[in-house]
Amino acid sequence: MYEQDRPALRAVTDGVYAWVQPDGGGWAENAGAVATADGTILVGTGSTELHAQWLLWSVAHTTSGAPVRYVVNTRQPSFSNGQLPEHAVIIGHDASRAGWTDGPGADDFWAPAAHVAESAGCSPTLTVDTAITLHHAGHEIEIRHPGYPARTTGDLVVWLPRQGVLFTGGLLANRATPAVYQGSVEGSLRALDWIAGFVPDHVVPGQGPLLDAAALPAALDAQRRYCQLMLDTARAGIRDGLSPLEAAFRCELGEFADLPEAQRIVPNLHRAYTDVGSGRFDFIQAIDDTVSYNISPKSLIG
C-alpha cells in the first residue's frame, strides 16, 4: 500500500507518475503522467483551475519541461482543459465532447463561472467510443471505456500493459465516498468487475491513495458494498414511499460514515432512485437536498 500525507507527484514505476490528492474529498481528483522520449502524456487534469496549474507545474518540474503532447480526459466533461498547452491533443470519450456543447454538468455546479467560461472551447479534439491505443515514443497506452454509464457517461481508464499500471479515473474511489450521481449506480457497480479484469500491479484511483495489486481487491469490495447499499436503500425507500432525502437520513452508513464527502449519499441516492425506479434525475433537487442533509439533519429525521 502506498501512503502520503500531502498532494504530490510521485513515481509509480519507471516513467509513470501519479498526482495524488490524499484525502479524496471535495474537488481533489487524482491524475498522472507518462514521460516519454518525445514529451509527456497527461492522464486527467486535476479538478479545478488551481489543481491543473499545480499538476502542470509539477509535471514540468519532474520532466525538465518536456512538452505535454497528449491529455486524456478520464471523465465527462473536464473543465480544467482551459489550463492545457494549446499544442496538446485532448482525448476524451464521445460523450465528453457532447457534454461541452450541453454546458456544465452535475459535477461542475460548484465550479466558479469564470473557471467554466475560460475552459469553453477546450473540448476533446480526439474522441473514443469504446477503445483506442496510443503508440507514442515506444509506449503503448490503451484508453478504454466500460461500454455503459458508470461514474459519468464518458468515463475512460488508461491502461499501460507493459508497466502494469491502471489509471481508473472516477470509476474507483479509495477511502473516499464515490460520486456516481452523474452516471449510474448500477453501472458503477458493474464497472468494478471490469476494473478487476485488467489485473494491474499498480492502480491510480480517481480519488484517494494509490493501490498495489494486494490492496486492490479490498478497495473494489468496499466500493461494491457502498454501491449495493445505495441500491438497497433506494429500493427500500421507493417501497416505503420515501423521498431520496428521507431515505438518506434513514440509511445507516456504517463503515462509510467517516469517509470524506459522506453527504454524497444524497445525490447518489437520487441517481439510485432513477436506476431502480422510474423518472428523471433532478439535479437541482439533489443539490437542495444535499444542503438540507448537511445543515439541519436532526430536524429532518422523522
- Residue 98: pLDDT over 80: no
- Residue 30: pLDDT over 60: yes
The neighbour count for residue 199, using CB atoms within 10 Å, is 11
Work out the average pLDDT over 116-122: 51
Q: Model's pTM, two decimal places?
A: 0.89
pLDDT of residue 301: 43
Which residues have C-beta within 8 Å of that of residue 123, sequence separation ≥ 6?
Answer: 77, 81, 90, 92, 96, 97, 100, 101
Residue 298 or residue 17, greater confidence: 17
Query: Mean pLDDT for the chain?
Result: 87
- Grid look-up 502506498 returns 2
Residue 28 or residue 154, greater confidence: 154
DSSP 178-229: ---TTS-HHHHHHHHHHHHTT--SEEEEEESS-EETTTHHHHHHHHHHHHHH
Residue 27 or residue 146, greater confidence: 146
* pLDDT, tens digit, 9 for 90 and up, residues 231-285: 999 999 999 999 999 999 999 999 999 999 999 999 999 999 999 998 899 999 9
Contact between 143 and 128 under an 8 Å Cβ cutoff? The reply is yes
* pLDDT, tens digit, 9 for 90 and up, residues 180-196: 999 999 999 999 999 99
pLDDT of residue 5: 53
Domains and CATH numbers, the chain: 8-212 (3.60.15.10), 227-300 (no CATH)
Work out the average pLDDT over 92-121: 55
pLDDT of residue 107: 46
